[in-house]
Structure 1
């Protein structure tokens, strides 16, 4: 089951996704290698924030960019307009749980920040494995909000982060899913599962990460649930304001911020009895 998007479909969220993709491109896509001509399915491409970086990391691949939101795909097409790899991208509006049978259609599946929004991530992964050729591969990237560590410490900052985690859980999602990638992929039938943490650490000596990640990605992400957290009584208005102010303090002189993403690689096992 695919859930609603907890962060909302707003121009601000579109900017946040773009900032995140640009800032974390090397961290999220580094080490990825696919042969030219490989058929790649990008699941949950959204506004196309990751698509240009996927094309850059794997030149020559052909990408089917899938998303359930027609509005997001309009923005994705706009983002890719004029990109030199645009002719190698096909955009498809569909729910991954409602795709027509297409066994073996793809050589690789790329899943970035999608499983956290699924009520049944193992079923989602099983559906994707059915689209892979035997021996095909999958890359999954997810964050884990429990890995957010910062200085100066603040119970108010911790509370606003916890509010986001709680709201996503209420929707049936999981903002702590990064730590679960290995068992999820194994349960879905993938083999050779290898998970690697990709850590972001920022302080004032790394201004591009302070701006691009701490402020424009992480704090903006937390702020996206401000009205809902307050309306549902999860955090009092005054406590919310203090929590955001304390998160902002981590981006100033003397502040530090740490976050871990998890990048998993795995394979679809060959069919029983297959040779070679």
Structure 2
């Protein structure tokens, strides 16, 4: 759900503020067990993280697969610098090759990697299928790709609120205007098949937070999802999608779902696929 600097043909609707970088780190930490469960690579494997952004997911990749030869790429040198510093603080012994690169024109030979990991990137690209095909080129035959995306259509909550649902819809519209698709999770499997991958499998990874899980309600419902929606307030108002009062009401109602008596549900989709011989 929006973690990376975009690599061509798309835009990152949430911006690149320090606040957004912190949100991305909080999100990755809150969802690490849910999203990274089942992802571990053998020591010595050549792994590419495509679109690493500020390194929010990189920390968890190297923690779960400490012996891999990880290359992390992003279009933004500033994001790469931040990712490098963050990883050095979190996992001092980790060794990562950081490369500034565009996903549309990766500077690696064919079959350079055994595994590719791409998380919350495809939803921001105008042509995610082309990006997946480009990743296939640098993935060896028989190598695996893991992709994770969210789907804002899976968000539902209590107490229900028309203002909250409208605020989410405004974020979806703005992301589409920037060239992305906040509903991409539901079509992740077909995209991988269209890009030529084989043995495609997709699993829903559902977040549900209520009063019995106050830490998750705070970390995900309030500090991740609601903060993400709130980050597009000025753009939504400027575009005439909402009045300031209506958007603020929507954000307040979303925050209410993280409080006692509230509930919040969201589904991520995690896909794995193989590059056929």
1:183 shift after superposition: 0.4
Q: How does 1:236-251 map to 2 (within 5 A)?
A: 236-251=243-258
TM-score by length of 1: 0.95
Aligned counterpart, 1:122:
129
Aligned counterpart, 1:80:
87
Question: 2 CA distance for matches of 1:49 and 1:82?
Answer: 12
- Counting matched residue pairs gives 270
Structure 2: which 5+ runs fail to align? 1-7
Q: 1:131 aligns with which of 125, 132, 138?
A: 138
Q: How does 1:45-56 map to 2 (within 5 A)?
A: 45-56=52-63
Q: SS at the partner of 1:261? A: strand
Q: SS at the partner of 1:167? A: helix
Q: Structure 1, residues 141-173: CA drift from partner, whole Å, max 9, x if none? A: 000011001001111000000000000001110
- Alignment root-mean-square deviation, CA: 1.1
Quick check: 145-154 or 86-95, which moved more? Answer: 86-95
Aligned counterpart, 2:168:
161
1:175 shift after superposition: 0.4
Question: 1 CA distance for matches of 2:56 and 2:91?
Answer: 15
Question: 2 CA distance for matches of 1:93 and 1:37?
Answer: 23
Do the aligned residues in 2 keep the contact of 1:144 with 1:177 (CA within 8 Å)?
yes
Question: 2 CA distance for matches of 1:122 and 1:4?
Answer: 16
Structure 1: which 5+ runs fail to align? 271-276
Question: 1 CA distance for matches of 2:192 and 2:66?
Answer: 26
Q: SS at the partner of 1:124? A: helix
Q: Structure 1, residues 247-276: CA drift from partner, whole Å, max 9, x if none? A: 011011111000000000000001xxxxxx
TM-score by length of 2: 0.95
Q: SS at the partner of 1:98? A: coil
Q: SS at the partner of 2:104? A: helix
Q: 1:103 aligns with which of 97, 110, 113?
A: 110
Residue 217 of structure 2 corresponds to residue 205 of structure 1: no
Do the aligned residues in 2 keep the contact of 1:80 with 1:86 (CA within 8 Å)?
no
Aligned counterpart, 2:42:
35
1:235 shift after superposition: 1.1
Q: SS at the partner of 1:174? A: coil
Q: 1:19 aligns with which of 18, 21, 26?
A: 26
1:82 shift after superposition: 4.0
Question: 2 CA distance for matches of 1:84 and 1:233?
Answer: 44
